[in-house]
Amino acid sequence: MTETLLIDRDRPGVVVLQLNRPKQLNAIDATMRDALTRVFAEIATDTSVSAVVLSGAGRGFCAGIDVRNFGPEMLAATAPAIERMRFQEAMAALPEAIRALPQPVVAAVNGPCVGAGLALTLAADIRICSTAASFGNAAILLGLSGAEMGMSYHLPRIVGTSVAADWMLTGRTVSAEEADRRGLVSELVDAERLLPRAYEIAADIAALSPMAVQLTKRALQANTDAPLDAAVELENRNQVLTHATDEAAQRRRRWSDG
């Protein structure tokens, strides 16, 4: 696989993806975008993978789109709107692919996480970060809409509408401590503990029933905006389906045996 994306499959049931353009703070170029697109598609159908860890090489998670050296697909300021729409759709497909993965994704944010990098992080199921992390929407600082790549969908659901509006309308940098306080991340850890902790979380998930895990992920997504009766209906269905599996029966027996 291309060197812009490192893939580690050494841990049973877990795939670790590391964005690998450290000199550019892992800014996304065309090669990295295409590699991520391919790998997400492969993981989605790989039944040996139960959880995914996403992080960045070096001192950054992802500095957004590499506008200086994206590649030949980078658009000129005078490009027609239809070409810009196609470019935007190709970038927005990345967080959509993360959300659509059957397997939960743990984002381990090790440093600056800006623009497209923030969009990838928001699409993950679990987010943890190190004390060196920072977050920013930033597009609005360039005269662009801060609502892109799913951010206006994900961010209000994670931190609340008012906090999301603050971050997206000002484009200001958010510290790791504020991200933790506002609930953007579930854990704030020292830098040397970040990846080991992400591995622990992913391994804990991989040790569970894949069907139960994947149905739980889907229920969390579907019920965020669902009315209560529809949410409970989906939960009821999922419990019945998972209860009927052989693995669930074995786990119940082990649990009752002590």
Q: If the chain, 258 residues long, is cut into consecutive pieces of 10 residues, what is the mean pLDDT of each piece?
A: 86 97 96 97 98 97 93 82 89 95 98 97 98 94 89 95 96 98 98 98 97 96 86 80 84 80
Per-residue model confidence (pLDDT) at position 258: 67
Q: Same structural domain for residues 150 and 230?
A: no
Residue 178 and residue 220 in one domain: no
Distance between CA 129 and CA 156 in Å, rounded?
19
Shared domain for 181 and 216, answered yes or no, is: no
Domain housing 238: 210-256
Are 221 and 109 in the same domain? no
State whether 137 and 223 are in the same domain: no
Structure tokens at 220: 């969390």
Phi, psi (degrees; rounded to nearest 5) at 21: -130, 65
Please report the beta strands in 71-204, taking only residues with DSSP state E, as ranges in sequence order.
Answer: 105-109, 112-114, 126-130, 134-136, 174-175, 187-189
Same domain, residue pair 164 and 219: no
Check residue 195 and give its pLDDT.
97
Buried b (16+ CB within 10 A) or exposed e, 23-36: ebbbbbbbbbbbbb
DSSP character at residue 140: G
In this structure, are 199 and 220 located in the same domain? no
CATH of the domain at 128: 3.90.226.10
Q: Using the 8-state DSSP alphabet, how is residue 99 labeled?
A: H
Identity of residue 4:
T
pLDDT at 19 (0 to 100): 98
The pTM assigned to this predicted structure is 0.91
State whether 27 and 90 are in the same domain: yes
Asked whether the beta carbons of 60 and 115 are under 8 A apart, the reply is: no
User: Are 214 and 116 contained in the same domain?
Assistant: no
pLDDT of residue 1: 45
214/113 same-domain check:
no
The CA–CA distances, whole Å, from 55 to 14, 121, 127 equal 13, 9, 10
* Cα 76 → chain centroid: 29
Please tell me whether residues 127 and 221 are part of one structural domain. no
